[in-house]
Structure 1
Amino acid sequence: MTITAEQRRARILHVVRELGTVRVMDLAERIDTAPVTVRRDVAALAESGLLRRSHGAVSMPLGTAAPVAATGRDRVIGMLVPTVGSYFDEVIAGARTAAAAAGARLVLGIASYESSDDRAQVDQLLDAGLDGLLLTPNWHPGGDIADSTWIRDLPVPAVLVERIAAPGSTAAGLPTVGSDHHYGVLLALRHLVTLGHESVLLAAREDSWTAHQVRAGYADATGRLGLEPRPVIEIHRPGLDTDAVAERIAAEAADGVRAVLVHNDHEAIQLTPALRARGLRAPEDLALISYDDVFAALAAQPLTAVSPPKRAVGTAAVELMLRRLTDGPGLPVHHVRLLPRLKVRTSCGGDPRQQ
């Protein structure tokens, strides 16, 4: 019988917990799976923080508490996201793997960015008999929703995912797990400074929470690094403003600014040929960094990218939820921010083999 990747990874975690440390080859034999498949699964589990790899062997992370499976057995965890098919696919994947490893069931709801039916989707999820809810609400980008009382008054524990409630709002006291996008932007700009750039452009969308976090991070990072701030190049119509954005970047390049951070991968990939048509090749004429790292490595010219820990966010959100369900109201409210990484590829002069 064919098993899913989540079931296979749950078996891997069970064996590692039982043995403490095990060689990958022995692990593959124990679960009767091809070593190449096990190596991929181990890499994904290590990326999510569920396993530790060292010299061909795997073990539980240092400081791991009692087996998670005992805390999540038969729990039902709902998860509301604004989209699938890109950024949140990896968040969901991390959550699914962690839930499966804990013996819990994950139930998914989707309330698109264009809609305002968060509450209706949550009500439908609650009908599934949830024990807890992972929630990514459609808050207005850059701010809190006008009324989040219903979130505070949910009948089950809730953890915000990739959202930060405004201080003093009705949702400010909820636990949250997300990426530190301010830090991610700082990583990108700091790298460009090491390449000798004294000014960096930001071309950014305006239609998502992450976009506004990136914008705020740019304002903060330019100040910290002593860079000359430039007006944000607006991407009002994702996928349709490519030529206008390329013209703006070309004009700034003619004025001496030869570095740009683009949110997100979709826009950065479309921009590359438009910039080349205007005589700007990366990295010879322009250092280009994308933000999100969902598709950046797949571009014809692999793009340097800020990579938020999307899968690890999903994992950490499930683990925090299980702790809340186990420890109850006595558990302090956690606001967990996970740090992105910068993956240097050829658009900033990196090794073309680094993906």
Structure 2
Amino acid sequence: MSEEKLFGVQRRERLMGELRRHGAIRVREFAGLLGVSELTVRRDIAALAAQNLLTKVHGGATLPTDLGPATQIRRRGTGPPRFTIGMVVPSLDYYWPAIVSGARSAAAAQDVQVQLRGSTYDWAEDQRQITRLIESQQVQGLLLAPNLDGDDVGEMIQWIGDLPVPVVLVERHPPRWTPTKRQLEWVRSDHALGLEIAVRHLHEHGHRSIGLVLSKGSPTSMHLERGWELVCAELGISPDLIIRESIRMVEPGYRETIAQLLERCRAAGTTALVVHSDPDAMSIAQYCTERGITIPDDLAIVAYDDEVARLAEPAMTAIRPPKPMVGRTAVELMVARLIEGNRRPAQRILVTPELIIRDSSIPLRVR
């Protein structure tokens, strides 16, 4: 085998490794990672798709899903799925599609069907969708992401624990002790660690006064705030500059909120922000551009979510929760539970986010 062909094989092995780890890749980012052209990566994707090892999508590739040609070819002429799992998520647009994609990839690999239901961040709607799946008598397990905010969390957990099929919570963390007949299993991103990764990245590049912006009402905020307190204590950073307001451009009065935030940054000598989520970080960046504040020289920003952070100007450094892996792990956890039954110990799994460095946290001359 020639060196050129050998390098191609190694490159494709690396590509498949990234897919298994994340559930999806983007052509532009993978080409930058390997230092090859985007055309080379597209050719690799086309070759692997021809072998039914991945599914081509616009701008990248995913592991095979129930909607992809690889799954259709694999299942042609086979019998019914081994298990059917119901999945209820609070949104079918922002954040959750990557988790659903990861779940479907794992399900396809294990001959499992996923019945997806969209809900809202409302417990009554969660109950309605869960009840519909149970009453269909077609599902042997449930992957759920219910709203666990409010004073009636105990009642909600009790109701979930009494369901007649096993449950794995996805991106949700119930109280440590739950008075149910079986301890609930869950898998979620380790958001507290993700926040720590962001702060330590900024600290390593000389920032000693850092602020945190949390999305108001997000289930993730609780974990981010916990990570903020821990890392600030360890690094000797003041945790005082923290705001809990959504400041994306669709929010009324967002410009006034950003102006107040930047005034606090100026008064405190703050040179960097961690912002949840991407639209909020992009709002701040756009406002800074209007005011002649240069990013990252005057103010460094790290976004938390990495859904659309790459589209900002400048492109946003971001913490990327391992969304496809969370979905995959949830399905694998459920399948193991269905196979092994009650003799299998309950598991609670945290998956580590990763830092994607772009232009908003390190000046190009430094990079």
TM-score, normalized by length of structure 2?
A: 0.75
By how many angstroms is 1:142 displaced? 11
Go from structure 1 to structure 2 and tell me whether the alpha carbon gap of 1:180 and 1:143 turns closer, same or farther (over 3 Å shift): farther
Counterpart in the other structure of 2:160: 151
Aligned-partner residue type, residue 111 of structure 1: S
Q: Report the more deviating stretch, 107-116 or 260-269.
A: 107-116
Go from structure 1 to structure 2 and tell me whether the alpha carbon gap of 1:344 and 1:350 turns closer, same or farther (over 3 Å shift): farther
**2:259 aligns with one of 237, 247, 269:** 247
Counterpart in the other structure of 2:93: 85
Looking at structure 2, the residues matched to 289 and 142 of structure 1 have their Cα atoms a distance apart, in angstroms, of 33
Looking at structure 2, the residues matched to 253 and 121 of structure 1 have their Cα atoms a distance apart, in angstroms, of 44
Counterpart in the other structure of 1:333: 346
Go from structure 1 to structure 2 and tell me whether the alpha carbon gap of 1:31 and 1:220 turns closer, same or farther (over 3 Å shift): closer
SS at match of 1:126: helix
Looking at structure 2, the residues matched to 327 and 351 of structure 1 have their Cα atoms a distance apart, in angstroms, of 53
Counterpart in the other structure of 1:196: 206
1:55-134 map, 5 Å: 73-114=81-122, 116-128=124-136, 129-134=138-143
Looking at structure 2, the residues matched to 190 and 127 of structure 1 have their Cα atoms a distance apart, in angstroms, of 48
Looking at structure 2, the residues matched to 310 and 342 of structure 1 have their Cα atoms a distance apart, in angstroms, of 14
Q: Is 1:141–1:209's contact at 8 Å kept on the other side of the alignment?
A: no
Looking at structure 2, the residues matched to 335 and 299 of structure 1 have their Cα atoms a distance apart, in angstroms, of 35
Q: CA RMSD, aligned part only? A: 3.2
Q: Is 2:247–2:258's contact at 8 Å kept on the other side of the alignment?
A: no
CA displacement, residues 160-204 of structure 1 (integer Å, 9 cap, x when unaligned): 110111122336821111100000000000011011111211111
Go from structure 1 to structure 2 and tell me whether the alpha carbon gap of 1:26 and 1:274 turns closer, same or farther (over 3 Å shift): closer
**1:168 aligns with one of 170, 177, 188:** 177
By how many angstroms is 1:248 displaced? 2.5
Go from structure 1 to structure 2 and tell me whether the alpha carbon gap of 1:144 and 1:213 turns closer, same or farther (over 3 Å shift): farther
Q: Report the more deviating stretch, 328-337 or 232-241.
A: 232-241
Q: Is 2:214–2:275's contact at 8 Å kept on the other side of the alignment?
A: yes
Q: Is 2:214–2:245's contact at 8 Å kept on the other side of the alignment?
A: yes
By how many angstroms is 1:278 displaced? 2.8
**1:298 aligns with one of 298, 306, 311:** 311
By how many angstroms is 1:280 displaced? 1.8
By how many angstroms is 1:40 displaced? 4.7
CA displacement, residues 9-64 of structure 1 (integer Å, 9 cap, x when unaligned): 9xx99xxxxxxxxx988755544999x77x954xx449xxxxxxxxxxxxxxxxxx
**2:278 aligns with one of 265, 279, 282:** 265
Looking at structure 2, the residues matched to 100 and 287 of structure 1 have their Cα atoms a distance apart, in angstroms, of 41
Looking at structure 2, the residues matched to 125 and 32 of structure 1 have their Cα atoms a distance apart, in angstroms, of 31
Q: Is 2:171–2:186's contact at 8 Å kept on the other side of the alignment?
A: yes
Runs (5+) with no aligned partner, structure 1: 1-8, 14-22, 47-69
Looking at structure 2, the residues matched to 81 and 223 of structure 1 have their Cα atoms a distance apart, in angstroms, of 35
SS at match of 1:319: helix
Looking at structure 1, the residues matched to 333 and 149 of structure 2 have their Cα atoms a distance apart, in angstroms, of 25
Go from structure 1 to structure 2 and tell me whether the alpha carbon gap of 1:201 and 1:144 turns closer, same or farther (over 3 Å shift): farther
Go from structure 1 to structure 2 and tell me whether the alpha carbon gap of 1:31 and 1:275 turns closer, same or farther (over 3 Å shift): closer
Counterpart in the other structure of 1:53: none
Looking at structure 2, the residues matched to 33 and 337 of structure 1 have their Cα atoms a distance apart, in angstroms, of 26
SS at match of 1:192: helix
By how many angstroms is 1:121 displaced? 1.0
Counterpart in the other structure of 2:4: none
Go from structure 1 to structure 2 and tell me whether the alpha carbon gap of 1:346 and 1:124 turns closer, same or farther (over 3 Å shift): same
Looking at structure 2, the residues matched to 297 and 27 of structure 1 have their Cα atoms a distance apart, in angstroms, of 26
By how many angstroms is 1:143 displaced? 9.6
Q: How many residues align?
A: 307
Looking at structure 2, the residues matched to 206 and 158 of structure 1 have their Cα atoms a distance apart, in angstroms, of 28
Matched, 1:276 2:286: no
Aligned-partner residue type, residue 268 of structure 1: A
Q: Is 2:210–2:241's contact at 8 Å kept on the other side of the alignment?
A: no
Looking at structure 1, the residues matched to 151 and 325 of structure 2 have their Cα atoms a distance apart, in angstroms, of 23
Looking at structure 1, the residues matched to 151 and 244 of structure 2 have their Cα atoms a distance apart, in angstroms, of 15
Go from structure 1 to structure 2 and tell me whether the alpha carbon gap of 1:110 and 1:24 turns closer, same or farther (over 3 Å shift): closer
Looking at structure 2, the residues matched to 243 and 178 of structure 1 have their Cα atoms a distance apart, in angstroms, of 33
Q: Report the more deviating stretch, 331-340 or 270-279.
A: 270-279
Q: Is 2:285–2:313's contact at 8 Å kept on the other side of the alignment?
A: no
Go from structure 1 to structure 2 and tell me whether the alpha carbon gap of 1:32 and 1:306 turns closer, same or farther (over 3 Å shift): closer
Looking at structure 2, the residues matched to 124 and 99 of structure 1 have their Cα atoms a distance apart, in angstroms, of 21
Counterpart in the other structure of 2:40: none
Go from structure 1 to structure 2 and tell me whether the alpha carbon gap of 1:104 and 1:201 turns closer, same or farther (over 3 Å shift): same
